Structures are given as C-alpha cells and as structure tokens.
Amino acid sequence: MDQKALEDYVNLPDPHYSYTLVSKEEHHDSTVYTINMTSLKWLEDSEVDKTIWWHMVTMTTPKVYKNAQMKKSCFLLLAGGRNDGLEEPAEYSADQIRTLAVTTGSYKHPFGMKNITENSLFAYVLWRFINDPTTSLDWIIQFPMVKATVRALDTVADFLLKQPGEDIQITTFMVLGSSKRGWIAWLTAAIDKRVVSFVSVVMDVLNFVENLHHQYRSYCGWSFALAPFYYINITQQIDHPRFELIASNIDPLKYNEHYINKTKYLLVASGDEMGQPDNSYYYFNQLTGEKYLRIIPNMNHALAFYEDSIGIPTATFYLITMQNQQHPQVHWNRTVKNTGGTIYFSTDQEPSLIYAYYANTNDDTRRDFRMYVLSGQEAKRNSIKWNRAKVKKVATYSGFEDSSKKLIITSELHIIPETFPCKDCVKECYSKLV
C-alpha cells in the first residue's frame, strides 16, 4: 500500500523554515551547539492559536570519533517541550546528551516539539476529522510533527557541513522517540531514506484499529489513560470510515514495506497504561526488516524517563547499527499445552545472560497487567509484579569488547489462557474507563 499524503505534506516547501545559532560551548571532550529552528506553519491563525512551530535543537559533536563511520552518522533524540512558558522536567539532561555523544563518537541532537499539548490535542484533531468531512489530512497532528522532524534532519546535516574545520557530512540517522514521539520516529523512518535505524519507546500500537479492539476485549472498556479520547467519544468511533482513513495515513504498519531496510528496536513497558504488553501479537510477525523487541518488566508508560533502563542498550544498538556489526538473529514461538504455556527462544549468537519473568494478573474479570488502574476517580497502584523464573538458557548480547555495552532483547510475552473476558465491540465501543 503506497501512502503518499504524508510524504507529499513533508516534501512541500515551507517558506517559514529557517534556523539560527543561539550558542556554542566548548568542552574538553565535545562541542555543544544550540540552534533555534523554525520548522513550519501549521494551519491558519483562525484555526489554531500558534501556527508557527519552533524548536530548540541541541547538537553535541565529540572531539574524538570511534571510527570514520561514526563521523557520518547522527543520533536524533525527539524530546518534549512546551510553548506556554510553564516549566517541564527535562527528559534528558545536557550531561546525558554529552556523555552519549562522547561514548559513541557520534552526534546527539535532542529536538524539542514546542507546540504540542499531548493527548488532548490529538483527541481533538481526531474528533474534528471524524465529525467534519471538510477537514483535510493536514489537520492530523502527526503530519506536522513528522515534517518538523525531517526539517531537524535537514538542519543538522546543513549546519554541521558548514562548520569550519569540522569536516562533517551526515548521511545516516538513528531516531529515538518515546510515546507520541515514538510514533513520529516510526513515521519519519518510513518516509526518509536517511533514517537507517530507529528506537521506539512505549509506542507499539501498530495495526492501530485492531489493537484498540484488542484493548476493549481485554479490559471490557478503556484504560483511564485514554480519557481525553473517551470523553469526546473517539473510542466509540474507532470503526468510523473517517477514523480508518486517519489510521491508513498514520498507522506505521501501513508503511510496512518502507521498513525493509530499517533496523528497529522496540522498547515496551510490561505495565503500560496506554497500551498492552501483548500488542505485538498484532504486528510483530508482519514487520519487515531487522527488528528487536524488549519488554521491560515492572515499568509503566513513564519508562521513557528511566535512563538506566534504556540508555546503555540504546547506545549499543546505535553503535551496532552504524558500524555495520553483525546483529543477533533471534526467533521464538509460543505454544500451549494442557500443563501450561511455553516460549521457545533461539539465537545465532551465544548470549552472555538470560532471564525469564512471569506474573499473574490480580483481576479475575480483565486481562490486565497495568501498573496503575482506575479506582473511583483516581489511578491507583496495581499490585502486579513480574518475578524472575528459572530458565534453561537466557540472554543479553555483548556488542563490543567493553562489557558495559549490552544489547538486551526479549521474546514476546505469552498470556495464558489465550482467551478474552469480553466480546468485541462493533461500531458502538463507548463502554467505560477502567
């Protein structure tokens, strides 16, 4: 299926695009540039209150490169931000950015989306597009977000090429994003050939409509985290033709043929309140190209803020990708017998370590492994815990001689019995928040 609307939107020239150097800092091991980039104009002043999108782009270049290949590659990190003057905790500190740039011998560019009001904005855009047939695809918030990200790629490559004495020509990128920005990482990789690998953190609702039905059948309703969508009846309209039109343009699985030469690393939280740990059943086997999954136990959607959980494996994945090192080939399958379920896992490389985890849901009416559930009007901690179990052989993969560099890979999890507590909904999927 050839998806052209997003690509056409991104490639349409915008006279508002520009960038300006704000500051330059010299450190003993790196140089840090801060750039103010205006990426685009989104819609008209009569439609939204802030039409011009601007972003702070921080570039860190190391003084020493690990090898020549790394001098041509860039690690682009999509970070969050606000444009209303309110402070928001930084997802990644300046020191973390510099450390990764130096240890990988690459460029780390955290790129802030300044004009996003998270789920409420996405919910409104969906509502308007579904209920107003005159609304164009330009309204879909992922379109300008992807365009802004591609302009960031352009800015990085152009700016560094022009720096005297640097001799830097960026030709390949790895993009990392969390949650909605993980969605943007998927879509940017789909339409920009410079992106050769990407990391998606807590964003695995590929096969979008099918996975929404999966949540409904599992919870007999909707997770409280979808409240902005629920309260304006989006959940009731997931089978609407206009909703399916949106999905056909922003569901990463619709761009599947574009990922055949892209290496991807999916980080999933076992207790994510936005999604479910078995979402992968509906897309992973279909995905083209190199792909790796890691389900992190005892974490919720806030996983994106835990540097220890994602930092080292992500850096290792980046190095393996950009240095053209051999990727481990892994395979698994799930089976069910009268005595229970089994996951068979195989790999072509000797793992340095292996673990298995298990958990039981505390809910006898829902297929529910979230860390937080709705109790009255508030979210409360759900006492699910994933415990280590004995395993015949299990694994992380050493990427390099440096034993601190590990690539951690998991299989899918296996929920048994393989049944759902609720019948699926058809067209009328309002139900309740849980």
pLDDT digit string, tens, across residues 331-369: 999 999 888 888 998 889 888 888 889 999 888 889 999
* DSSP state at residue 208: H
Least reliable range by pLDDT among 87-101, 145-159, 315-329, 341-355? 87-101
Q: What digits encode the pLDDT tens for the residues 24-62?
A: 999 998 999 999 999 999 999 988 888 999 999 999 999
Q: Which two tokens stand for residue 77?
A: 């990190």
Which of 416, 359, 414 is closest to 386 using CA atoms? 359
402 has pLDDT over 80: no
| CA distances to 53, 200, 373, 379 from 376, in Å | 39, 32, 10, 8
Q: What digits encode the pLDDT tens for the residues 10-24?
A: 999 999 999 999 999
Pairing verdict, β 30-41 and 18-26: antiparallel
Q: What digits encode the pLDDT tens for the residues 184-208?
A: 999 999 999 999 999 999 999 999 9
Which three-class secondary structure state does DSSP give residue 128? helix
The structural domains of the chain, ordered by start, are: 3-330 (3.40.50.1820)
83 band by pLDDT with thresholds 50, 70 and 90: low
User: Looking at residue 63, what is its pLDDT?
Assistant: 87
The region, left, alpha or beta by phi > 0 then psi within -120 to 50, assigned to residue 312 is: alpha
Calculate the CA dihedral of residues 321, 149, 306, 296 and round it to 10 degrees: -60
Calculate the CA dihedral of residues 308, 310, 312, 317 and round it to 10 degrees: 180
100 has pLDDT over 50: no
